């Protein structure tokens, strides 16, 4: 499946910063990671730092799947609000899921600094009411977050207009948030991992996968053999074909990026990432080169052709969405793209072993904050492989299927 269409900003900006070979030999390894996007890159980085032998293999050129299309908003806030998630997985589990996402942002920042990746900016996260009726919901959501120690502030209508320059009935301002470039980050992680012995291959399709009692045996599209003690599925939505249960609903999501100079005119430049209570929700951020990125307008995924056909219309709609918030700011689209987005029933990812496939581990960061989920998966899977843990927390585990 083509996971993205159009011209994602990060791909145009960074091009192909590094070249990786295709696999041209038979090979053995302790851990094989299927997928070289941000999820696979984080897993490889953690395994390398733990001294575990690992190989990364991607069917595409590295980063050209969902990672290049990621809008890279980093939030601890899961797509399912905490006040609703408690009813799906229990209050303690819901709070712990939020806390793990909160901590993951600090960890990602520390990793970026350690490997010298500079496109990482801490921001606050503004969750604002799309409609007047949403105020009571935001009050309830604010109360439960505040009660469990999250750094949040409630903003009323006057405060919203003063601080953010547009009308909204209310908002929750979270101190913890960040924005990055997932495509560039993935490449920087791979380069750091390669220095520690990880081998990264792209343009190599794993055509036949056999999970046996002693190991996993793989044959590539070029006929080469791989034997791995463990196989990590970090290939996002494409991994669902290996899981018998239906675990995710696929949707098409759209993003538009302005010409340079627009961010300077907004009151939220590098200050906050914005998203609202609509379903599907609208979200905004600024970029390192002074643009505004706006996304949303999700549709059920039917086909790549339909997704691409809708891109011009969605570009116009998202442009109008920005101009509705800030009618005095001219927003001229320069880049627009769309990609596959997945939603689970509870808004939580799937990670850890899958008993129906011996020696398998999954790192599936579905949802709007997939990068924070990917970081958590990298940590948990590394602990499982090194013997520190047996499985993921039940609210992230495939056992909850």
Tens digit of pLDDT per residue, the chain (401 long)?
454 556 899 999 999 999 999 999 999 999 999 999 999 999 999 999 999 999 999 999 999 988 999 999 999 999 999 999 999 999 999 999 999 999 999 999 999 999 999 999 999 999 999 999 999 999 999 999 999 999 999 999 999 999 999 999 999 999 999 999 999 999 999 999 999 999 999 999 999 999 999 999 999 999 999 999 999 999 987 888 899 888 878 888 899 999 999 999 999 998 999 999 998 889 999 999 999 999 998 887 767 777 788 899 999 999 999 999 999 999 999 999 988 777 888 999 999 999 999 999 999 988 778 899 999 999 999 999 999 998 999 999 998 87
- Domains of the chain in start order, with CATH, are 4-70+183-246+347-400 (3.50.50.60), 124-176 (no CATH), 249-343 (3.30.70)
195, with CB counted inside 10 A (0-12, 13-18, 19+), is exposed
**Percentage helix, strand, coil, to 5, in the chain?**
35, 25, 35
The pLDDT of residue 4 is 52
Separation CA 278–CA 287 (nearest Å): 23
Residue 220 φ then ψ, to 5°: -85, 170
Report how far residue 118's alpha carbon sits from residue 381's, in angstroms, rounded to the nearest whole number: 26
pLDDT score of 5: 56
Instruction: Report pLDDT for 66.
Output: 86
Render 52-112 in DSSP notation, one character per residue.
--EEEE-SSSTTTTHHHH---EE-S--SS-HHHHHHHH-HHHHHHHHHHHHHHHHHHHHHH
- The SS3 call for residue 11 is helix
**Three-class SS state of 253:** strand
Looking at residue 83, its pLDDT comes to 97
d(CA 59, CA 64): 10
- Taking CA atoms, 79 is separated from 21, 87, 276, 279, in Å, by 37, 14, 11, 10
> What is the number of residues in the chain?
401
Q: How far is CA 384 from each of CA 23, 141, 306, 381, 389, rounded to the nearest angstrom? A: 27, 34, 41, 5, 5
- The DSSP annotation for 160-201 comes to HHHHHSS--SEEEEES--EEE-HHHHHHHHHHHHHHTT-EEE
- pLDDT at residue 16, as a whole number: 95
Please answer whether residues 236 and 364 qualify as being in contact, where contact means their C-beta atoms are separated by less than 8 angstroms.
yes
Please give the pLDDT value at position 159.
96
């Amino acid at each position: 499946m083509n996971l993205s269409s159009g011209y994602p900003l990060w791909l145009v900006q960074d091009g192909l910063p590094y070249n990786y070979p295709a696999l041209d030999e038979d090979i053995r390894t302790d851990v094989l990671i299927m997928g070289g996007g941000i999820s696979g890159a984080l897993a490889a980085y953690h395994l390398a730092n733990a001294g575990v032998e690992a190989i990364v293999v991607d069917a595409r050129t590295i980063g050209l799947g969902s990672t290049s299309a990621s809008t890279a908003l980093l939030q601890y806030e899961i797509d399912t609000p905490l006040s609703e998630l408690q009813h799906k997985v229990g209050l303690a589990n819901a709070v712990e899921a939020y806390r793990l996402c909160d901590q993951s942002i600090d960890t990602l920042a520390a990793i970026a600094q350690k490997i010298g990746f500079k496109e990482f900016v801490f921001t606050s996260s503004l969750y604002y009411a799309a409609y007047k009726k949403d105020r009571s919901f935001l009050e309830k959501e604010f109360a439960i977050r505040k009660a469990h120690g999250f750094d949040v502030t409630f903003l009323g209508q006057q405060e919203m207009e003063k601080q953010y320059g547009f009308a909204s009935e209310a908002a929750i301002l979270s101190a913890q948030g960040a924005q990055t470039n997932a495509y560039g980050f993935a490449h920087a992680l791979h380069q750091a991992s390669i220095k520690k012995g990880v081998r990264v291959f792209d343009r190599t399709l794993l055509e036949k996968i056999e999970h046996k009692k002693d190991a996993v045996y793989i044959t590539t599209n070029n006929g080469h053999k791989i034997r791995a003690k463990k196989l990590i599925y970090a290939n996002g939505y494409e991994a669902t074909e290996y899981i018998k249960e239906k675990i995710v609903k696929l949707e098409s999501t759209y993003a538009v990026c302005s010409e340079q100079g627009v961010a300077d005119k907004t009151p939220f430049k590098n200050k906050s990432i914005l998203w609202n209570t609509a379903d599907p929700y609208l979200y905004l951020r600024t970029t390192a080169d002074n643009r505004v990125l706006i996304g949303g307008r999700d549709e059920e995924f039917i086909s790549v052709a339909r997704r691409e056909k809708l891109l011009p219309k969605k570009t116009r709609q998202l442009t109008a969405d920005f101009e509705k918030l800030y009618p005095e700011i001219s927003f001229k689209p320069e880049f627009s793209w769309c990609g596959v987005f997945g939603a689970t029933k509870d808004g939580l990812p799937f990670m850890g072993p899958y008993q129906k496939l011996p020696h398998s581990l999954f790192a599936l960061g579905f949802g709007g904050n997939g990068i924070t989920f990917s970081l958590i998966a990298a940590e948990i899977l590394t602990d499982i492989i090194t013997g520190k843990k047996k499985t993921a927390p039940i609210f992230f585990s495939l056992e909850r299927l």
